[in-house]
Amino acid sequence: MQGDYRVQITTKRIRYDFTLREKFTLIQGDSGTGKSMLYDLIELSYRQPWVKLTCPAECLPAIYLGENWLHALQTTHSSILFFDQNDACVASKAFADTALASDNYFVFLTREPLPHIPASLQGIYERCTIRTIHTLVPRNR
């Protein structure tokens, strides 16, 4: 995958709208800033009709990779994979090596830095909210 991918997630009450430009994107923020809510809405979009996910690529929460995440990463292609801070596999060097060789985009919703993930400064964001619309702004403005 290459290029920009616009991701829109909409419910009756809130909307996330952001564009991914890098293979590795980190969405950082303190506790209670909506990172896990974004992850949960992506997961719910596959089960609940009231959550609408619009993106030209398939967006998958890490929970859909299952326990054999290494095999799943090797066989999933041209998708955007979302990982919450509770996904332990992300901290491993094996994960980083497999992700680097993959043709997927990766989004990490975390408070902590990920030393094995080669994210550029342009790929680190935090959430910005105006009323009920959530967007991403560069972390190092």
pTM: 0.87
Residue pair 24/119 in contact by the 8 Å Cβ criterion: yes
Task: Sort 93 into a burial class: Cβ within 10 Å, 0-12 / 13-18 / 19+.
Answer: exposed
Predicted pLDDT of residue 132: 72
Q: What count of residues does the chain have? A: 141
d(CA 141, CA 126): 10
**What are the φ/ψ torsions at residue 51 (nearest 5 degrees)?**
-110, 115
Percent of all residues in the chain with a pLDDT value above 90, rounded to a whole number = 40
The structural domains of the chain, with segments of one domain joined by +, span 5-138
d(CA 118, CA 20): 15
What residues of the chain score a pLDDT lower than 70? 33, 120-123, 130, 139-141
Q: What's the number of CA atoms in the CB half-sphere (13 Å) around residue 130? A: 4
CATH number corresponding to 5-138: 3.40.50
